[in-house]
Structure 1
Amino acid sequence: MNLASLGLTAEQERVYRYFLRAPGASVDAAAADLGIPHAPTVVARLKTMGIIDDGLAPVSPTVAVDLLIRRRMEQTTRELNQLSAAWDIVRDLTEEQRSGRPVELVERIEGMHNVNRRAREMSASSRELMNIKPAPMSHGISNTTVQHFRKRLSNGLISRTLIGIDSLGQPDQMAYAQQQHALGDLHRVTAEYNRRVSISDRAIALIQVDPVDVSVGALLVRQPGMVAALIDMFEGMWARARELTDPPLSAIERQVLQALALYDKDEVAARALNISLRKFRSHVADLMRRLRAGNRFQAALLAKERGWL
């Protein structure tokens, strides 16, 4: 058996085997004995791969094979990712076939009917979705659409949705969000950015033009840099958002957070709230755990980002 299947050329394998048999040999000796004039180039490549060290000592066969297997697996993973990404062109080709015109990197879509239609088309073939919504349930959404989406979740669709904090005060919206969350469309609550955004397969995004008037239309974005920026924005918001299952703040917890932002010392904050220092610090510790904050200052910042202040 040779090592070609693990990525070594025939010459690289011959040179490696030579140094295994003749430890301490020179590169010139290898070139002469093997009849490979460019042996120095081959040795340099083997050093880069970690198969031979700077002193021309070969690593053990066990280590060499392990290194080569790891390199081959990494290469295979990259190739699979490239093949997976190649499927994204299908969406563009399909759109060109449908519309009869070249696909634009940024396309303006007019009218709610057209926006909803394009959103359904985009979602229908997605393998991964990232959504930002003011509310989890859109008005006018059909039961057929909901059931189809839930079926796709059960078939492996990866979906994450950020919903606006105002949804917390709407029982029907929260009930819908909790149902979707339980089925695999993971939901979190955010106080940031109230414009509707949907990102499909990290390759295409649909952005509501006006955060208030949805009838104005949307932008369909395929430009890689713009989509990457939207993904970064989403991931940052997702990390800062609160879990859907987090219990709401009590009145005293909200007062403690406000006191953290106003006062530098616990003693002063506790007196302002008319509670004991021990009780105040207990509330602070609970809030820091919920916010995953490392200190008081960070807790106040995170609370503001989540809309708790």
Structure 2
Amino acid sequence: MTHLLKPVGLGPVESDVYLHLLSHAHAGVPGIAEALGITAPRVRTALSRLTSAGLANRLIGRPARYVAAPPEVALDSLVLHHHQVLDDLRAQARELSLRAKVAAGTQPGDLIEVLDGADAVLHTLTRLELGARHEVCIIDAPPYLSPGTLNTNELQALARGVTYRGIYHAPTLAAPGALRLLDRYLAVGEQARSLPDIRMKMLIADGELAVIPISFTGDDAATRLLVRPSPVLDALKLAFEALWNRATPVGRAAPAERPAPAGDAAAEDTAGGGRHPLSPRDLAILRLLASGAKDRSIARALDVTERTVERRVAEIVRLLDASTRFQAGVQAAARGWL
């Protein structure tokens, strides 16, 4: 707790003084200095900063005594103020960036930049995602720098209101733990779709910058291209939209629940209602099946036998009153099960 106030720009001395005030009402400078083992001038400076920040108040009278402002009110207000300052800083940074671009001009050779090395790639991807203002479009496909890792940049951007649309290479969703990661993103607002086979790996931020592999058929994850506004970027955006329109939506996993008994009205699905009698495992099988994954991949992803997958798929097809797997996928989507 020593550095409690560090996130809002105050130091350890201010944190110590504030914590002391919370437990010692009407404290004066000499008493605080003695209790904390620091000099009176340092205490006065800390109290001045705390008062300016709205975290402490000086009482009327002599000698001067102080009380702490309620933390649930004062800290929330201070954090909100710092968020506003950061938003203003982002706006100024964007304006300065635009001025720099106008001043420097854009040469044909500047339209595409080679990012060489994992650090350079990760730094650029982080900068684009955390700096996004409106939308990030992703095609998730091999090769990967760090497979199976939670993308905290996306979580932060989604929390700021940035829209995320992701198209997934279906076989990657069958990798162990892949659906759990995807559910984390879906739970906080990502829109996700999948295609059986897609290799056009890319990330486009606000339609202004894109990162793509140096080759769509290679396996070099540590060398990529940064594409600036140009006909190449326009082509990438058109390609993404065309693929998005062809892709199959990937639904979010429902809360864990046991399958309800047959005939239970509370569990029966209604058109578009999304209620279903599937167990969590059967729902995971259905999602992977709809994404185009094969039985062997589904079995490996869920750590079950291929025979179990075949048996459960047959049961899902029966529940949907379908005659083929394709028809089952159509029925599941129509009923809101996906």
What TM-score comes out, normalization by structure 2 length? Answer: 0.43
Q: Return the TM-score normalized by structure 1.
A: 0.47
Larger radius of gyration: 1
Higher helix share: 1
